[in-house]
Structure 1
Amino acid sequence: MPETGLSDNPFQHPRRANWIRLRTLIVLRWVAVAGQSIAIAAAHFLYELQLEIGLCVLAIGMSVIANLVAMFIYPANKRLNEVEAMLMLVFDLAQLGLLIYLTGGLHNPFALLLLTPVTIAATALGLNAVLIVGAVAIGIVTFVAFDYLPLRTIQGFVLRVPSIFLFGSWIAIVIGVSFLALYARKVTTEIAAMGDALLATQLALAREQKLTDLGGVVAAAAHELGTPLATIKLVSSEMADELQGDAEIDGLLEDARLIGEQADRCREILRSMGRAGKDDLHMRTAPLQSVLEEAAEPHQDRGKRLHFDMHPGAGSDERQPDIHRSSEMIHGMRNLIQNAVDFAAGNVWIEGRWTAQNVVVRVIDDGEGYPPHLIGRIGDPFVRRRRAPDEPRKRPEYEGMGLGLFIAKTLLERIGASLTFANGSDPFLAPDERPDRGGAIVEVTWPRKLLVAEEAEARGALGDNLRFDS
């Protein structure tokens, strides 16, 4: 099995490994040591409570010794893996539990601080580690609810709360451990998922931009090399004409013809490579249908028919608008078209409409449509659809986690678009009752001023016509 760089440890989440710096936990522990020392001193000297000072100092000293050992043994930039971080948090729970045991158990209001290590675990560790830390916290809370050294005043009175409040404190801390762990983990997981999805979006956009730039370089090379290749072709043709019929130099004749053929071949190669070159001034804008056809080009030969339908809206100019040809537009629409092709039964319609205010593009397929329970979440990253165990995968090459639609939505919204997702018909209709365009529908709407190029920009990029003198 090849090396993956990921731990085989069941506690270690591949995306959360080595997130926590040792220095961070050391600093937090120093803060805890300072707070515990102040609380013990205040209870003993200010409120004159009879505490086991020696044992309390020993408990606080355990944290001090652990911090000093960690500081001297490990480098300052040490990052903890899942197991190391979990063990440090379990140690902190045990130390805090011992201190609470020595100072009244759940009769001590500071027992609430047992929630802190659990919250840290929920935000930084994997599920297994969080469950272990949470179980340890609940175990400690339950233990100190029944067994503890009571708090006594200097007169010898025992400070205790009524049993019902003691039970309420136990219930509150147990629920707090569960709720805070669940809440913090849910928020952190969504933030991490959104971060991963945004990174994928940036990578997709960067790739598209690099391909566009590379195409521009190739197009420029094809343009610049056109004249030398034409010269080579002309000279080789003239040489072949002059050598024609001379039996003594047939070898030179074949060489001249070969030079001409290779020049033609170079021209064709450069022409085919330069078709993707879009960095020329006159290609920074293009008609709406041309841009959509370019976005759909990789999916033209995937067994589904693509239909382009471009019409003006009511009271609008018949001529298609020239729009800005951006990487966000191309890649975003390409992802939407890819999704439609993946799930279509046989046809995908790409409709374009424009008015004086808006430009609207719809991508429609004749598939089964979006699952009704997921329509409200389409466009979020990592949306999984639950399948029955015997339901076949329609896209075995994809995970079906909504990342493509998220990337498309993010890129298109960056250039001012708004997206809506819907079904063209009731997904529970029988196949023979469905209309032709009854599958999934994505409607992308731009304010016209954000997408459409001004007339001077769209038509004036080539410059003025020059007079040709013969």
Structure 2
Amino acid sequence: MTVPSPTTALPEADAGRRNMTLLIQLRWLAVGGQLATIAVARSLMDIALPLAPLLAAITVLVAINFASLALLARGRAVTNAELTAALLFDVAALAWQLHHSGGLTNPFASLFLLQVVIGAILLTPRSSWAIVAATLAGLATLRIDPTPLLLPPRYAHDPFALYLQGSLVCFVLIAVLLVAFVTRINRNLRDRDAALAAARQRAAEEDHIVRMGLLASGAAHELGTPLSTLSVLIGDWKKEPDIARHGELQADLADMDAAVQRCKTIVSGILMSAGEARGEAPRLTTMRAFLTATIEDSRAVRLPGSIEFNDLFGADVPIVSDPALRQVIGNVLDNAAEISPDWTGVTASRDGDMAVIEIADRGPGFSEDMLESFGRPYSSTKGRPGGGLGLFLLVNVLRKLGGGASVANRDAGGALVRITLPLSALAAPEGES
């Protein structure tokens, strides 16, 4: 049974939404700063400002913010065109305000530089140059009949000193905003790059699994005929009169027949997991029966009593048996029994809607390199070519089912593999049990 993994936002979409959120926050700061500047200029400095056009621009910025919030509420990706449009509105609003407050003589004209830097970081090269062109056009329009500022007498005799003070305030404002917001934007971009790298790694792993599945399916087909031949030959030998009289030979033949039947079961499981041999309906069972059968299969080829099963699962639940899941859990059990032949502990419990399976052994445990590279293909402590695929397959099968796996070293010695699996991933259809 294949269960699609939960959908997650693409890295580009997530970065675009976070960058739009930053623009909204920057715009709220601009609205607050502009209202504070107007209040200081009129109340403390007695500078007459045209309130109507300035407040109209602030109203437009507030409206853009609400429109941007509505855009984010839709839950889809924020495109480069939408980010560009938002920045162009900011440039136009700043140009409008400067035009009605002195034009190029207003020291806050340097705020255009902030728009250019943000555009260069957030947008594609073509869109970034569009922001540059918009700011240059804005500066050019400020030379066309701007509304001059009427300064009170204490500033009128030396307007350049007031300009220098305003320039200093503007420099500090730009520096603080650039450090605060560009740092956050770069962090968003690094998170996006990390998410893209993880997605590429996951795609490579899934491609590796597909190729392994094709090889396993081909090998299973090739093994079917010789296994059937061996089964027929063993049956014929059992019927031979000379062999029938030897109890030890009969016992050996029975062991050989059991081993061949186990191999045939494994081959059938590989074909079923690969999407073949689907003539039979999926087998309905329960979680406890599924775990018990998996453990019994491993016990059949190990020392009697070497696997200890602690059932703390609680109330049983109906599920559809997943051959791939059974196979990867069996691989972990085989690995644990191989490294710790005298004892392997299996504990099944439940954490809310999650099934938790812990497999422990008394071996040497995992090395630091193994703990860091857990789940990667060909990462193994056995030193065999092609080793390390058991845990790799476990991680990827669980990921497809919405679960996960982790490894650790036990305080008492040995290794511990912890499997978590949502019960909904294996839930039996309603009305069936």
After TM superposition, the score normalised by the length of structure 2 is: 0.42
After TM superposition, the score normalised by the length of structure 1 is: 0.39
With a CA cutoff of 8 Å and minimum separation of 6, indicate the structure with the bigger relative contact order: 2
Structure with more of its chain in helix, by fraction: 2
